[in-house]
Amino acid sequence: HLIPYLHLSNKLAERGVKVSFLLPKGALTKLQQLNHHPKLIHFFPLVIPHVDGLPPGAETASDVPFSLHQLLASALDKTRDQVETILTSLKPDIVFFDFGRWIPEITRQLGTKSFYYSVINACTLSFFRVPVRRITVETTMEELIQPPPGYPSTTVKIKHNETPHIAGLNDPRLGAFLHERLTTGLRECDAIALRSCQEIEGAYSDYLAQQYSKLVLLTGPVLPETPATQLEEKWDEWLNKFESGSVVYCAFGSQITLQKEQFQELMVGFELSGCPFLVALTPPHGCSTIEEALPEGFKERIGERGWVNGGWVPQTLILKHPSIGCFVSHCGFGSMWESLVSDCQIVLIPFLPDQVMGTRLMVEELKVAIEVERGEDGMIGKKALSKAIQLVMDNESELGNSVKNNHIKLKNIFSSKDWQDKKIDSFVQDVQFILESPGA
């Protein structure tokens, strides 16, 4: 969540706002390079105390699996004194937060406003995190996947047969813990801000406003300006070997590590698709390198047609390369926006609850993407993946053309700098209005 918070900070700084950014010490080096306004955005590193059960040095959600997020939240809670000291000395006008549910208690004493800034989609908050819902350790899966009363969609939801395969859904303790934490923040904050827009999530934003009886402000996609840097030569040269719109790019963000069997199944799926492919995934569980995880004989069979990379790649620049024609994504909210403003066909394989909800939004409501069906055992099969890729890459396919045309319409709106600027300008105006309104 740090990256989208920094994107917002950059947009605010562009409009002259001074930002103090509190973050775990270890994340500083990675984030520093994304700070486009070092004179206005200042970092305040926090020391994350150790909590038993967390691996040494774990500081962010990308350092640990979903099952340890509860412990990570306990570590966050232990930073409260550090945060309070910094806020007391800075006395900011507003604090943006999400998991720090105790922020409103601090800001109230300081006469500062607190905004819950959600960097996940509004449909997930509307479905799970509303006050009419009680999620406890006793909540059954059947109850959990029932939409709350008045929920504005019949299609953007979790399907019964997929529940065992969505990480985090079938852990009642974690579910109850997260629910209590997030709904407390949403209830106690002065206003809710969403990284979304009326055009795609208006109904969910209105539903949240009504559920919490408070202002819900929309920032729009808050996409960073195209970086001044060029795509490194090694990527550019390799991608230039292929025809325009022919390469499949796949990445699952910062939190997904696959089981080796699933990883290999996907690799064979890319092989079967017949398309050139660039895959950026962390090595699967139990493997320290990508090489040792690849299926037997894979490298020899694929040769120059595929590149499987085990580390971080410059996703936004890769998506802009003319050779890329398809993005196989987990539908993390950042990637969702990046796919929407790209020219690629979109194929989705969600893993976490908000990714599943985002996938339904993209597939069922916006009709701009297709989803790869899981098998009954929860696996994404090689044939299902290759079929999905072939479907969207085939110029003759009716479904492929239909999602492409719907996507182009949205892309034309969302990729306009003017449109994006208007969204953030209007957000800043709304915020100013709140700050200037007596008693607001």
Ligand X SMILES: O=c1ccn([C@@H]2O[C@H](COP(=O)(O)OP(=O)(O)O[C@H]3O[C@H](CO)[C@@H](O)[C@H](O)[C@H]3O)[C@@H](O)[C@H]2O)c(=O)[nH]1
Which residues lie near ligand X (CB under 6 A)? 1, 3-4, 119-120, 251, 253-255, 280, 312-316, 332-335, 338, 352, 354-355
Closest to ligand X by CB, 325 vs 332, is 332
Q: How far is the CB of 327 from ligand X (least distance, A)?
A: 10
Q: How far is the CB of 313 from ligand X (least distance, A)?
A: 4
Strand partners, 249: 278, 327
Closest CA to 70 of 145, 187, 181: 181
Whole-angstrom distance, CA of residue 127 vs CA of residue 148: 6
What sign does the dihedral 324-329-334-340 (CA atoms) show?
Answer: positive
Closest to ligand X by CB, 87 vs 200, is 200
Closest to ligand X by CB, 87 vs 222, is 222
- b/e code 236-265 from CB counts within 10 Å (16+ = b): eebbeebeeebbbbbbbbbbbbbeeebbbb
Q: How far is the CB of 54 from ligand X (least distance, A)?
A: 18
Closest to ligand X by CB, 3 vs 110, is 3
Closest CB to ligand X: residue number: 253
Q: How far is the CB of 109 from ligand X (least distance, A)?
A: 29
Contacts for 285 with CB less than 8 Å, ≥ 6 apart: 257, 258, 259, 260
Q: How far is the CB of 114 from ligand X (least distance, A)?
A: 20
Q: Which residue has the tokens 């409103």?
A: 104
How far is the first Cα of the chain from the last one, in angstroms, to the nearest whole number? 28
Closest to ligand X by CB, 31 vs 87, is 31
Contacts for 404 with CB less than 8 Å, ≥ 6 apart: 345, 392
Give the tokens for residue 199.
């055009």
Q: How far is the CB of 435 from ligand X (least distance, A)?
A: 26
Give CA angle at 90 (116, 99), nearest 5°: 25
Closest to ligand X by CB, 110 vs 317, is 317
Closest to ligand X by CB, 170 vs 401, is 170
